[in-house]
Amino acid sequence: MDKSKTRILKGFRDFLPEKMYIRNRVISILREVFESFGFSELATPTLEYQEVLLGKYGEEAEKLMYLFKDQGERGVGLKYDLTVPLSRVMADYPNLPIPFKRYQIQPIFRAEKPQKGRYREVYQCDVDTIGSSSNVADAEILAIISTCLNKLNFTDYKIRLNSRKVLFNLIEKAGIKADKSQTILRSIDKLDKKNQSEVEKELADKGLSKETITKLFANLKSAEMDDDLKEIISLANKMGAKNIEFDPILVRGLDYYTGSIFETVVKKPKIGSITGGGRFDNLIEKLGGPDLPAVGTTIGLDRICDCIEELNLWPNIASSPTKVLVTVFSKALFSNSLDLAKILRNKGINCELYPSLEKLDKQLKYADKKGIPWVIIIGSDEAEKEVVTLKNLEAKSQDTMKLEKAIDIIKAS
């Protein structure tokens, strides 16, 4: 093969070990929180039938889907989200325990125009409760979001909370007919990015009178939570949630929400929302599943990983899971190094044995390049005196000591 042709596909990413290490830590924290609230993991295939995929989004999204014919001439496509497969699962396995509390962390595919921060394969992380219309279920999702973010070291975040019912109500009170409410919502949604007069103009273009528009904005300003939202926020706070704020201009783009809606924003970096969700009581059935209420959220794994890096939320994280490189000094001393590596491993310390006899300098450079913080050297002096030399690459310090002491230092680091 022509070497110059070896390359990654446009719009896709490799996760090299350093990135992967952070992602794995994030995922393991998310899993821990989800499971602490009684959610279990589901995984579904990468490929689905086209008719299953297209059920939710219709032709508009078709352009963004990876659709093709397989060897059996079946129309298939790559997962476009995690809600469609969830609905299929709810239909295919009618004996699942209800409420079905599941989380799912898998890649989804969108043939978007590649641009900075936009990828065609994205790891999505969804957590949903299917089959409960209780406000407890909504509150739990909010508590999970907040607990995850707290455990990930986020402090400066805000969970915006609103309800489609509150929105529909204030639209109705402004004297707007119900059949116009979705298009009005889409305009209100733009208040996040446009100023009020721009949105007013858009509403006027949609046929609202000046008076109605004034009334609508007055209603938005004086909007209050309904009883459901009050209960949801109070339950979520009791479950340990923080930073939830009622925000009457929050709309969330997708038409299918029916009750609470929520998203999490951070001041920095300028990255949009890092979670987004709400209650979608009709969607599972619409997608071919059973008629069950549902509430849940997507957690933006990629954006969260970006935030952790940009905000330096994990200042002490290593760039490698390996804690120690055990160097090889000479052929005669090789078995000392090998035994030592085994002892460290048995003590629960991730350690790497340099696999061949090379100049010590080369071995140290390798550790440095890989981001391994500690190096242990056993030369002839050390072997004779039954000690080791422990080197910290970042501090550029080293000391000779008994192995037990070295183990204590490494474990404490």
The annotation places the binding site for L-histidine at: 81-83, 110, 124, 128, 252, 256-257
163 closest CA partner among 265, 277, 261, 233: 261
**Residue 94 near its own copies by CB under 8 A:** no
Give the Cα separation of 112 and 119 in Å (integer): 7
**C-alpha distances in Å from residue 266, one per residue of 117, 194, 254:** 17, 19, 21
> What pairing do the DSSP bridges indicate for beta strands 397-401 and 388-392?
antiparallel
Q: CA-CA-CA-CA torsion for 148, 151, 155, 157, nearest 10 degrees?
A: -10
Minimum CB–partner distance for residue 274 and its own copies (Å): 21
Find out whether 403 and 383 touch, Cβ atoms under 8 Å: no
* Residue of 25, 134, 212, 313 that binds its own copies (CB under 8 A): 134
**C-alpha distances in Å from residue 247, one per residue of 105, 164, 191, 261:** 29, 12, 12, 10
Which tokens sit at 15?
């996760």
Could you tell me which stretch among 68-76, 203-211, 383-391, 398-406 binds its own copies (CB under 8 A)?
68-76
Find out whether 402 and 385 touch, Cβ atoms under 8 Å: no
Give the Cα separation of 59 and 288 in Å (integer): 17
Find out whether 220 and 157 touch, Cβ atoms under 8 Å: no
**Residue 177 near its own copies by CB under 8 A:** no
Compare residues 51 and 172 and give the one whose CB is closer to its own copies: 51
Cβ neighbors of 276 (< 8 A, separation 6 or more) are 252, 262, 263, 264, 297, 298, 300
Compare residues 102 and 160 and give the one whose CB is closer to its own copies: 102
Minimum CB–partner distance for residue 163 and its own copies (Å): 18
Minimum CB–partner distance for residue 216 and its own copies (Å): 35
Minimum CB–partner distance for residue 194 and its own copies (Å): 30
Cβ neighbors of 85 (< 8 A, separation 6 or more) are 44, 45, 48, 52, 79, 104
Minimum CB–partner distance for residue 43 and its own copies (Å): 4
Compare residues 88 and 160 and give the one whose CB is closer to its own copies: 88
Compare residues 369 and 402 and give the one whose CB is closer to its own copies: 369
Compare residues 47 and 249 and give the one whose CB is closer to its own copies: 47
Which tokens sit at 14?
């490799």
How many chain residues bind its own copies (CB under 8 A)? 103
Which tokens sit at 303?
């954006």
Binding to its own copies (CB under 8 A) within 96-125 occurs at 96-99, 101-102, 107, 109, 111, 120-121
Binding to its own copies (CB under 8 A) within 256-295 occurs at 286-289
Amino acid at the residue 237 = N
Which tokens sit at 322?
């390996």
* Residue of 30, 88, 223, 275 that binds its own copies (CB under 8 A): 88
Window 213-242: contact mask with its own copies (x via CB under 8 A): ----------------------x--xxx--
Could you tell me which stretch among 95-103, 191-199, 205-213, 396-404 binds its own copies (CB under 8 A)?
95-103
Phi, psi of 390 (to 5 degrees): -105, 125
Find out whether 324 and 352 touch, Cβ atoms under 8 Å: yes
Binding to its own copies (CB under 8 A) within 368-407 occurs at 369-370, 372
**Residue 335 near its own copies by CB under 8 A:** yes
Could you tell me which stretch among 153-161, 200-208, 257-265, 363-371 binds its own copies (CB under 8 A)?
363-371
Binding to its own copies (CB under 8 A) within 289-328 occurs at 289, 320-322, 325
Could you tell me which stretch among 1-9, 152-160, 381-389, 394-402 binds its own copies (CB under 8 A)?
1-9
Minimum CB–partner distance for residue 231 and its own copies (Å): 11
Residue pointed to by tokens 């103009």? 201
Minimum CB–partner distance for residue 347 and its own copies (Å): 10
